Structure 1
Amino acid sequence: MSMEATDTMKGLPGLRGTEHIGFTVPDLDEAVRFFVEVIGCEPFYELGPFQSDGDWMETHLNVHPRTVMKRLKFLRCRHGSNFEIFEYSAPGSNGTQPRNSDVGGHHLAFYVDDIGEAVAYLRSHGVRVLGEPTVRIEGPSAGQSWVYFLSPWGMQLELVSFPKGKAYERETDRRLWHPASPHL
């Protein structure tokens, strides 16, 4: 994309992209072990605990005022966005992992070069893979394969691969961000 096109875009002044994705897990140590030892992310720094006797937590984080952010850890997963992983203790918190179909549902997708090899690797590490990879042969995502898998605590994750690109790329010179091409 040319600098001229970027200058005329609407939105946040100075926007460069996604710096991190934050999510809450039931056990920070378990999550860090999984993301580092199985997925291959790199751990960085940790903070916490943090709590407030006033309304700081509610005002700044939209959580119960007596919430305790027990710990957080930053990770980086190769050429993707950073992760900020939280472990909280809060009155009335919901301990159920949302599904994609739930409001607030989400998943993290990891790009891999060979989806078959990655699926075999996950299974060899006892990771629950949901079915077999779906191969897109029509539409703008043609050329893409994907499959969901679950973290040990039930968080939905995805593997995605499209080593020869996606069909939409034949129709435009614009590209979605791709971890193998960070200089778009």
Structure 2
Amino acid sequence: MPDRHGLPGLRGADHIGITVPDLEDASRFFVDVLGAEQFYDLGPFESDGDWMETHLGVARDSRVDRLRFLRLGSGLNVELFQYSAADQNPVPPRNSDIGGHHLALYVDDFDAAIDHLVKSGVKIMGEPTVRTAGPSAGQTWVYFQAPWGLQLELVSYPDGKGYEQHTTRRLWDPRRATL
């Protein structure tokens, strides 16, 4: 691996943590609709002191009721949290809000994946976008939402992306991931 500046020893992302309103409902969505594999639970966690505030950046009296680890395909692990907190904001941030985000899931067969989401009652946000020029040429994507409002993206580029024609450097590619 080439020497570079930044975080020493960085290999990649291990997991993303997502706070959900109901851990069981969210788990069913991730497992039954998206095909995640469930691994283990932890919790509850709470503190009489300032541990929650100091270590997690939440109000002192917050409580992690439970958290659950899952794996999506051969890639990203997902840590789902269910919190109890008096100051909890129940509205997920929009992509345009500071802290806004989405989770992009790569699929080999875009049309089959869309059909599966539609049959599962998932809200698809608009029509798929097909990139035919530029660095993302070859990519098709569309956003969709989990029942509680989390935004996700379905993405596919089975023949690669346009930028690959202009450099030997590569973004991480889920098509080459193995367990």
**Where do 1:15-94 residues align within 5 Å?**
15-94=10-89
Identity of aligned residues (%): 61
Task: Decide whether the 8 Å contact of 1:79 with 1:180 is kept in 2.
Answer: no
**Where do 1:110-149 residues align within 5 Å?**
110-149=105-144
**Where do 1:140-179 residues align within 5 Å?**
140-179=135-174
What's the TM-score, normalizing by structure 1?
Answer: 0.94
Stretches of structure 1 that go unaligned for 5 or more consecutive residues are none
Q: Distance in 1 between matches of 2:112 and 2:79?
A: 28
RMSD in angstroms over aligned alpha carbons?
0.9
Residue in 1 aligned with 2:100?
105
Number of matched pairs: 178
Deviations 1:5-57 (A, max 9, x none): 2xx11111111110111110000000000000010000000001110011100
Instruction: Compute the displacement of 1:179 (Å).
Output: 1.2
What's the TM-score, normalizing by structure 2?
Answer: 0.97
Stretches of structure 2 that go unaligned for 5 or more consecutive residues are none
Equivalent AA in structure 2 for residue 154 of structure 1: G
Task: Decide whether the 8 Å contact of 1:41 with 1:78 is kept in 2.
Answer: yes
Instruction: Compute the displacement of 1:182 (Å).
Output: 2.7
Equivalent AA in structure 2 for residue 39 of structure 1: L
Q: Distance in 2 between matches of 1:56 and 1:111?
A: 37
Instruction: Compute the displacement of 1:70 (Å).
Output: 0.4
Equivalent AA in structure 2 for residue 110 of structure 1: L
Q: Where in structure 1 do 4 or more consecutive aligned residues deviate above 3 Å?
A: none
Equivalent AA in structure 2 for residue 13 of structure 1: P
Equivalent AA in structure 1 for residue 165 of structure 2: R
Equivalent AA in structure 1 for residue 55 of structure 2: H
Q: Distance in 2 between matches of 1:179 and 1:46?
A: 26
